[in-house]
Structures are given as C-alpha cells and as structure tokens.
C-alpha cells in the first residue's frame, strides 16, 4: 500500500447504511480505527436514525436526511469534551444506525396454562398463542437499555425476551378481563386490542412501541372442551321428542338393524296405545254394568323363619301358628317379612302368635 492510499484510508467521506436483512435493528458503522473527516457526508435514509456516540456518551441523534458533518449542522458534537481542534482536523466517533421500521410476525405463546376466573366455568386453564409487532420508539432509551456496544443487533437477540414479557403480563391482563371463555373465540380482535393496551407500557421501558398483539388461538382443557361439545349437542337436538321421531323415521327408511330396532320401538308404542284403548273400553263396560265387580282379595303376607342361622320359608300366618303349636317356632326365633328393616324376634314381630300358647306336653308316663 502506498503512502497516499494509507492517507486516503484514514478518512471517511460518506457514512451510510443499506440493509435488506429485515431483522437488523441496530448496525454500527465499521470505523475500524478510521477517522471521520470534517465535512464528511452522512446519509440517513427514511425509516432510519443515526446516533453519534463519543467516549461512551450519546452525542446526537439525526433523523432522515443528508448531513455535512460541520459545527453548524451538529452543534451538540462540538459541545463535547476533548474537541480541541473544533472540527478543523479529523475526529473519531461511533455512528450507529437504527431501523425505525415496524418488525412484524414475531411469535409469542404460553408454555404452561394460565389459570383465570370465568363467570360460567368458575376457574379455567387457558393456553394462547399469536404474533405481535414492534418498532423502536425512543432510540436513546433503546441504545442505553438494550443494545449497549453491540455492533450488529438483530431481532433474535431480544425476541425471546419480549415474548416472555408478553406472557408474564398476560396473566395480569386476563385477570382484569371479564369476557366469558365461550365469547373469547368470537372476539379475538377485540381481545388482542385489550391485551395490547395492557402490555404496551412494559415495552416503553425498553424504548420500544408495541404496535399490536394478534391472538391466533385460545385453547381450553380437554374436559372443558368436552363439556362445551355436550352443551352444543344438547342445544342442536332441540325438542327431544321430535328428534326421536325423526331418528325413528330415518331408521325405517334406511332398513337393516336400525330399522328393526326402530320397528320394535314403534311396536312397543303401538302396544301401549292398544293397551290404553282396551283399558278405556273396559272402563266403559264396567260403568255400563249395574252390579260392580268386587275387588280382588288382598294378598297374604309371607314370613321367613331363621333357626340356628338357616332361613326357611316363606310361610303364611296360618302356617306359623301351626309351627308354634309344634314348637318349631319359638318366641326367640327370628322372622323377616317385606317391609322389615331386618330380622326380628318372633315375640316382637308377631306377638299375637304367643298369647294363647298351650303349655308343653307332659313327660311320658305321667
């Protein structure tokens, strides 16, 4: 390298940044020890700002336009310390370009369910995911809080942190929202606007503006989804009687096993109708007779007897009386009949059997 090439390499005449990566947020001009010549041209394009940093301190922020680096154009630079030559000789400074475009289609989502209160299901565990959009709003804050001395800062370096920030604030925002879970699916846009307003202030601390949050899906636990499906099925059926009639007609039309089952069902229904008809005819016939038919005799109560742990019977009350005379039923024997709450001693359950009990027979030979 010749002397004049070396001298020319020490001075930078044009400072600019063109980028087509779509994910670069901050890019530092590669000075590499070169000095910026007094009067050099600085080109800041639309959707960009240029930040001058001198000795670790932000000196000036320039908006879109073309600048000649002179005292009259950037007076803040001349007020910094150690500018002994007043820009009459080359100077050193770091120049950062910040992209002010909107960064879109950034992903967010809940890793674990968020428990929220719901007016219909009491408490529900929700999962949600979607996208969000941001832009740099305060270059000085963003440089100080996020970028630092990074010479090439991209979305990948902050995207995970911002997604976690959204999820961490989402539970608080959901707690303030009173929209029932069943209505969330039809109000994703309104719900997205609601949580955007609730979370946007947290992004301002980083010098960023949260443009919008889009909700793509809110999922419920499987048990709640089944409950919703069941409720929807019941509502879709409508009048149950009309629905059963329709199904029966469809089954008859299609034939096969379903037709047989439907035929059986209709047969039962016809039998019931015929029984009602016969009953009505019988009532009319009875009313026409002058002598009423006597009612059937009352049914006898049957009893079971337990001696030595074994159950015998059932017996009628007359049979029990004979057993008393034969001494096979004693007052301490246990009996049971329908309506009893358990086995009872015969003298308690049937005391009338023992009021006129003959004495035991005399011994033989007497």
More confident residue, 120 or 214: 214
CATH 3.40.50.1100 fits 103-224, yes or no: no
**What pLDDT sits at residue 295?**
66
For the chain, domain boundaries: 3-99, 103-224, 303-354
If we measure between CA atoms, which residue out of 144, 163, 205, 36 comes closest to residue 153?
144
- Give the pair of three-digit tokens for residue 216: 């793509």
Across 81-90, 155-164, 165-174, 303-312, least confident range: 81-90
Q: What is the pLDDT of residues 187-203, one digit of tens each?
A: 788 888 888 998 999 99
Average pLDDT, the chain: 76
**Token pair listed for 336:** 């049971």
What is the residue whose two structure tokens read 């026409």?
288
- Residue 182 pLDDT grade (very low, low, confident, very high; cuts 50, 70, 90): confident
Per-residue confidence (pLDDT) for residue 265, from 0 to 100:
54
Strand, helix or coil at 37?
strand
Residues 210-219: what's their mean pLDDT?
A: 90
- Name the pLDDT band for 236 (thresholds 50, 70, 90): low
Mean pLDDT in residue range 226-248 = 67
The residue among 227 and 79 whose pLDDT is bigger is 227
Per-residue confidence band for 30, with pLDDT thresholds at 50, 70 and 90: confident
pLDDT at residue 204 in the model? 94
| Range from 250-254, 271-275, 327-331 carrying the lowest mean pLDDT | 271-275
Question: What CA–CA distances, in Å, run from 321 to 90, 284, 289, 317, 358?
Answer: 134, 45, 42, 6, 12
């Amino acid at each position: 390298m010749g002397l004049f090439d070396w001298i020319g390499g020490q001075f930078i005449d044009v400072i600019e940044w063109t980028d087509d990566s779509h994910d670069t947020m901050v890019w530092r001009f590669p000075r590499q020890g070169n000095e910026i010549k007094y009067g050099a041209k600085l080109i800041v394009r639309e959707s960009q700002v240029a930040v001058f940093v001198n000795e670790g301190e932000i000196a000036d922020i320039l908006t879109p336009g073309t600048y000649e680096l002179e005292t009259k154009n950037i007076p803040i630079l001349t007020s910094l310390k150690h500018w002994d030559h007043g820009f009459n000789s080359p100077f050193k400074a770091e120049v950062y370009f910040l992209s002010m475009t909107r960064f879109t289609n950034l992903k967010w989502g809940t890793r674990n369910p968020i428990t929220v209160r719901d007016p219909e299901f009491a408490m529900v565990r929700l999962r949600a995911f979607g996208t969000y959009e941001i832009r740099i709003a305060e270059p000085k804050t963003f440089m100080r809080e996020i970028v630092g001395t990074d010479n090439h800062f991209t979305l990948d370096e902050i995207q995970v942190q911002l997604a976690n920030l959204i999820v961490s604030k989402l539970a608080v925002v959901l707690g303030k929202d009173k929209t029932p879970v069943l209505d969330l699916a039809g109000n994703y846009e309104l719900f997205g606007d609601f949580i955007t307003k609730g979370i946007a202030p947290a992004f301002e601390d980083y010098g960023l503006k949260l443009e919008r949050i889009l909700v793509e899906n809110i999922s419920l636990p499987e048990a709640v989804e089944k409950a919703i499906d069941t409720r929807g099925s019941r509502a879709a059926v409508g009048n149950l009687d009309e629905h059963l009639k329709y199904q029966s007609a469809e089954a008859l039309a299609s034939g096969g096993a379903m037709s047989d089952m439907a035929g059986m069902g209709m047969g039962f229904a016809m039998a019931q109708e015929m029984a009602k008809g016969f009953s009505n005819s019988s009532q009319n016939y009875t009313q026409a007779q002058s002598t009423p038919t006597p009612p059937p005799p009352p049914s006898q109560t049957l009893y079971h007897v337990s001696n030595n742990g074994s159950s015998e019977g059932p017996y009628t009350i007359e049979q029990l009386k004979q057993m008393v005379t034969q001494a096979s039923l004693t007052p301490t024997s246990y009996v049971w009949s329908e309506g009893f709450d358990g086995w009872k001693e015969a003298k308690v359950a049937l005391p009338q059997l023992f009021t006129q009990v003959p004495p035991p027979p005399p011994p033989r030979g007497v």
